[in-house]
Amino acid sequence: MSTLKKNFLYVLLQQFVLLGLPFLTIPYISRILGPQGVGHYSYSFSYITLFINVFLLGSNLYAIREIANVKADGQQLSRSFSEIFLIRTGLLAIATVIYFVCVPLIWNGDAVFFWQSLHLIGAFFDITWLFQGLEQFKKVVTRNITLKLLGFGSVFIFVKDEKDLVLYTIIMGAAVIVGNVALFYRLHEYVRLTVTNLVYKTHFIQMLILFIPSFSAMIYSVLDKTMLGIMSTTAQVGFYEQSYKIVYMISSLINISGVVMLPRTSSLIAEERFEKLRQVLRDGVTFTVFLVLPITFGFLLISKDFVLWFLGSKFEASVRIAMIMAPIIIFKSLGVIFGSWYLVPMKKNKEYTLPIVIGALLNFVLNLMLIPRYGGAGAAIATTVTEGLILAIQLWFLRGVLNFKVGTKKAMITYLVASIVMALIGYQLSSYFQLSFLLSIILKVVIGVSVYVGVLLLIREQIAYGYMKKLFAFKPK
């Protein structure tokens, strides 16, 4: 089996575990902590995430790309690792000092805000970027699964009621520290950390260049919760946060390709195999559209039943928010391909940065306009519009790169029509049954998959035939 296929399988396994465990913990935490507790945690976590991302600049994507470029030269690999690691350590040290000053001055010594600092401490030991750049995904996946299992078990054992919010915060932060420290085991087999004859300037400048899109992306992925907490209520943060988690839980499963393909496409670029790169990009987009359209329309079909079953009746307000955010599944899935597969490894900094900066500015303005009146739903509208705009600008920049054939364009339109038909038939048929939330979800999923696949088989769409062979070992007559 090729290294690329192994990496896909490792990351796919990771995503199933990382999605499966929240699938159990999110309903539990939603019922134990309630909207207020979830909102309090999410509001405080948004600040620590801001600190980490601001002070780390754009170093994660840059570090993966840099490691992938020098992995064939052991001496240069160790040198680049040391330079990037020490830059990150210095930046995080500054962030830690400032954060601990802010806790008593801004957040009045709130214990939840204080213990969120464990995530900041854990970031010192985060070297996942090294193993991602080396395409050593087995080690990263093992770490992530262990981390999640540790946190998962501790939550169910120790968190019993609303008073355990601080304990929940400690568990989440401690699990990150343990998981990141574990990556240092046998690190010497890959690189050697050195502090002599190092050059930091070039790395720092490139991080600053990538910081602009990283910070802008953070505006609409983190600042929305911060603004909700300031301009609305912690309960609204809770409603929004849980809807956000569900939607991004779905899109993250589809987005595993971004993590795996960044080092691989960086290698193609280093080898100057640009036509192969463009073909990989086109194939990735087509396959993603084939998957993501029925998933998105299917989520709209089951959203009400799923949210009430998954989160509980206290989170009924999350139903509308989740439905508003459903298109993000499409936008994020394609955006990851454009960014991680092409724009970042090709060092198209302007094309990668500009859409995110424009989107961030729009998101901030829309949040200011919509949150005071609509709360979590307003933040959801702002985020969805922002993601759509970013994708539209990326498509404009890539119009000369994609160059889809007529047959491929027709196939994508077919997937859209089939997805709409699937949702309409699923809604009509399921309306004849009065079932529990869980049984209703299962019925709609079965109907949806059957209709989508059935429509494509009926019209004998050839590209879909190829995908179905790979996904289901399907062999048409």
Closest by Cα among 362, 297, 366 to 330: 297
pLDDT at 165 over 60: yes
Give the pair of three-digit tokens for residue 24: 């159990």
N-term to C-term CA, the chain: 29
CB 474 within 8 A of CB 456: no
pTM: 0.74
pLDDT at 138 over 80: no
Residue bearing the bigger pLDDT, 26 or 89: 89
Residue bearing the bigger pLDDT, 342 or 356: 356
Residue bearing the bigger pLDDT, 260 or 418: 418
187-219 tens-digit pLDDT? 777 788 877 777 777 777 777 776 766 666 666
Q: How far apart are CA 264 and CA 255, in angstroms?
A: 15
Band of residue 296 on the pLDDT scale cut at 50, 70, 90: very high
Q: Percentage of the chain with pLDDT > 70?
A: 82
CB 392 within 8 A of CB 331: no
35-55 tens-digit pLDDT? 889 899 988 988 898 888 888
Q: What average pLDDT does this structure show over 320-328?
A: 94
Res 459: pLDDT: 80
Q: How far is CA 237 from CA 46, 110, 240, 325, in A?
A: 11, 17, 5, 15
pLDDT at 96 over 60: yes
Q: What average pLDDT does this structure show over 82-90?
A: 88
Band of residue 239 on the pLDDT scale cut at 50, 70, 90: very high
Residue bearing the bigger pLDDT, 108 or 64: 108
Give the pair of three-digit tokens for residue 115: 């213990």
Q: How far apart are CA 330 and CA 292, in angstroms?
A: 6
Band of residue 422 on the pLDDT scale cut at 50, 70, 90: very high
Per-residue 3-state assignment (H helix, E strand, C coil) for 66-115:
HHHHHCCCHHHHHHHHHHHHHHHHHHHHHHHHHHHHHHHHHCCCCHHHHH
Res 82: pLDDT: 86
- Domain spans of the chain, in order of start: 3-403
